Amino acid sequence: MRTASIHRKTGETEIRVELNLDGTGVYSVSTGIGFLDHMLEQLSRHSLIDLTLKADGDLHIDQHHTTEDSGIALGEALARALGDRRGITRYGTAYAPMDETLTRCAIDISGRPFLVWKTEFTQPKLGELDTELIEHFFHSVAGAAGITLHVETLYGRNNHHIVESAFKAFARALRAAIEIDPRKSDAVPSTKGTLGGTPARHG
């Protein structure tokens, strides 16, 4: 079973994550930020990753630390569950339409953390979540997981649709990338022989 448990505690947040890469999309999410919970539920359901994430953070200040640290803990759990990346497909690409919006996501589970973000918003908040934190969440996941991640909204107007299509595209691309390749289930998909990389360190 490709599973992982993470407990991350700082002076600002305490995050617990459990996930199963080979699940069915069962989730239990509670960050104290309703819109972020909704997006993480979408991520679980459409990636088929079973996800439990509980966050207690300094929301009396703002949502920044809770959003960032949830992304870091999720990325660390992904990296741990993937192990040496043996047998994975490695690459994943997905388009996610949502009404008038279309977002494309491409992933390389490369061991080289990088985010290209080409998505913009026309309002400062969705629910109680600052929209600028959406990019920061994906940056945190990519850095902690050691993945190369490209997210681009090709077109769209409704801010809720834009964010949701980004999360759904990420989920579907991630699902494809972590799948075991039946033709090479015993091999690391790299001529170097390793995809461990050096994920970003977070204090």
pLDDT of residue 133: 97
At residue 11, φ and ψ (nearest 5 deg) are -70, -10
Which sequence spans correspond to the domains of the chain? 3-178
pTM of the model: 0.91
CATH placement of domain 3-178: 3.30.230.40
CA dihedral 144, 63, 18, 78 (to 10 degrees): -20
How far is CA 191 from each of CA 16, 91, 110, rounded to the nearest angstrom? 35, 15, 12
Q: Nearest-CA neighbor of 136 among 184, 202, 187?
A: 202
How do residues 27-38 score in pLDDT, each as one tens digit? 999 999 999 999
- Give me the percent of the chain exceeding a pLDDT of 70: 91
pLDDT bin (cut points 50, 70, 90) of residue 193 is low
